[in-house]
Chain A
């Protein structure tokens, strides 16, 4: 199965994951500082800065785009409960 790596910069942890994994599936297990609210892409609590590797994420859904817009999210920010890594290396930081 294709692999990807996600680095949570705030705690210095890098995790190798299967392609297709969402950030939410990993960040809580390693204790990263991304905080979740609704876990369904609505509340924007888990807004996360993509430090590098943005292109390795699946494109945001219409709902995620709407929530990012409504909450004035800066560029290169995604919802960790929605963002799915497709391969390569990704480095993230809590927003």
Chain B
């Protein structure tokens, strides 16, 4: 079948609300990390009120001509009183400087978190006296209708906000609830099946910000939604709540729930030494896990599984412990393969530790600890290194490491005191 070409002009979304974005059907990779088999769209919108026109988001700079062409088909530049950027990412702000040059009356409305990024992305001269900061509860008056703002940070930029047009029940949701799926029919009840793109986008863009997703859903679920108008992909006018519910499901902790603390121990072992250390860590962790405060503990041989499944485990876990032998001065490849696959999940604040046996120099443990710190885990406990065959003392140290990890997960860390000079 042939997908109809997009009209050159603006596309009505609701009374006095138009899509004025651009289509990029040939894009096959977005921001290095995303495959885009169906291309993408840069959605921008115009909302007309009795006393002015608001433009919500712009497009990637290469698509400015299409954007301005559609805008000019429904509004004069001197009618534009308000420009909203729901976040500053260049694929939505690329046409902003030119828009502000043409729409001389317009004020740019962004969230307070955008304050420190504006001058890094734009020439301050283009913005001088033209910017106002808005947060939850603030409104932009267009005469007979108003735009309201919801502060929804980190979805997926720090400054992300959503814009709500109560008069039509439309939420302009930035990248939230969006996807890379280009189809000139624009609306979810007209385009092809894009469910895989919707889930794929969530898993690669929103997933690391699960707690912020849940906070935003709390705000959005309270709205009488009729349409969700995201910045990429189909406009959700049929059953928009189904997509909100899908996000709720994707963002939920699914295995044990937040109340149960979980520890995952991963290891690779050539001759069994690091494996036996792993078993001692698990035994120690179990010794501190009582009926009054239980930690769910699991032990995984990294050579026996796929990284993707382990990533799911890690997303759910509260503590991660990695065991690796040292081979030629490095931790072994299965460990690095997993530790380089974790940008799609939220690791902030998880507890991390490392252990392993070695023959000569034993670099693996400190290298893993450093990687865990860089991934924003906390690594409060020194790792355990055993030279060649682990001794009873080595196993006791592993046992203590596991026990202390459980105690920390249960909120009962063993008090320790240092002088800064000791640890510098």
Contacts and interface: CB of A to CB of B under 8 A. Distances in A.
Interface of A: 10-18, 21, 25-26, 28-33, 35, 42-44, 66-67, 69-72, 94
A30 to B, nearest CB: 6
A16 B378 contact: no
Candidate in A16, A66, A70 with the most chain B CB atoms within 10 angstroms: A70
Interface string B391-424: 0000000000000000010000111111110011
A35 B376 contact: yes
Nearest to A40: B116
B104 interface: no
A30 B380 contact: yes
B348 A35 contact: yes
Contacts of B153: 71
A85 B165 CA distance: 46
27 contacts: A10-B408, A10-B413, A11-B378, A11-B408, A12-B408, A12-B416, A13-B417, A14-B416, A14-B417, A15-B418, A15-B423, A16-B417, A16-B419, A18-B420, A21-B420, A28-B373, A29-B423, A30-B418, A30-B423, A31-B378, A31-B379, A31-B380, A32-B378, A33-B349, A35-B348, A70-B113, A71-B153
Interface in B83-115: 112-113, 115
B423 A33 contact: no
Contacts of B161: none
Task: Name the 10 nearest CB pairs between A and B, nearest first.
Answer: A12-B413, A31-B380, A70-B112, A11-B380, A33-B378, A31-B379, A17-B420, A16-B419, A14-B417, A35-B376
A46 to B, nearest CB: 11
A15 B413 CA distance: 15
B116 A11 contact: no
